[in-house]
Amino acid sequence: MKRMLLTISYDGTAYHGWQVQPNGITVQQTLQDALEKLLGERVSVTGCSRTDAGVHAREFACHIDCNDCFPESAFLKGLNSLLPNDISVIDCCEKTTDFHARYNSKGKRYIYSMYYGVPNPFDSRYKLHLEKKPNIVLMNDFCKGIIGTHDFAPFSSSKRTVEDTVRTVYDCCVKSNGNYIDFEITGNGFLYNMVRIIAGTALSVGYGRLSPDCYLNIFKSGNRSECGETLPSHALFLDKVYY
């Protein structure tokens, strides 16, 4: 028995998130089905985190325990041949048996992508279309304020299932290139809808609906209603998992 770390990339459009659910097809279930065909046994797949329905991943990490004796290159080729085109295993490697995809993670980086100007059907599939350009300077002023260790409960959905809502954000910024805008955030962990709510609050700041220092009152009051909207899931990418 050996433990394998798989790094996968997926388009989450057709899936109800990562984790297996009774009411819809998920990335985890699809990966488990392919592994069962390859290995001849049902193996458990443990992910580094959960992603919501419609969220994508450029580098998502998960681990499995299996009796596979294939070389890693053959394992990778065989597994990808059994997966749909919107999921790809881009790397695999053997780890020690005490490695855990979730608990050994040092942090994750998410990117929320936006653009403004004339709507483009191809851009709009993976980016949020904005009617006009927000103020990037103001958005970055807000982003600087949430860096650090805080109770991020107001920046999360009431549907969260964890009691500990303190998280550390290592970096947060907004970058623009032409009419494309990326909100980037890196932290040790994220609550349910946390990235989409912080990005929505930054966007409200950029449009002058909230002040750049609104985070002060939000952290103090713990009131979700003082934040911006929860942005749609289709423009969110898990970009990197750090170990």
Bridge partners of 236, per DSSP, are 112
Range of the domain at 135: 107-242
Task: Assess whether 82 and 123 both reside in one domain.
Answer: no
Q: Among the three residues 70, 95, 120, which one is the final residue of a domain in this structure?
A: 95
Please compute the mean of the pLDDT values over residues 156-161 and round it to a whole number. 84
Q: Is 155 inside a domain boundary?
A: yes
Q: Residue 17 in 3-state DSSP?
A: coil
Considering the entire predicted model, what is its pTM? 0.94
> Is the per-residue pLDDT at 3 higher than 70?
yes
Element (H, E) at 198: helix 194-206
List residues with catalytic annotation.
52
Task: Assess whether 178 and 213 both reside in one domain.
Answer: yes
Give dist(CA 183, CA 56) in Å, integer. 15
Confidence of residue 68 (pLDDT cuts 50, 70, 90): low
What is the per-residue pLDDT across 163-219, written as a single tens digit (0 to 9) for each? 899 999 999 999 999 999 999 999 999 999 999 999 999 999 999 999 999 999 999
> Is the per-residue pLDDT at 125 higher than 70?
yes
Give dist(CA 3, CA 104) in Å, integer. 14
What is the per-residue pLDDT across 215-232, written as a single tens digit (0 to 9) for each? 999 999 999 999 999 999
The CATH code of the domain that includes 7 is: 3.30.70.580
> Is the per-residue pLDDT at 64 higher than 80?
yes
Q: Is 146 inside a domain boundary?
A: yes
Task: Assess whether 111 and 188 both reside in one domain.
Answer: yes
- Give me the pLDDT at residue 229, please: 97
Total domains in the chain come to 2
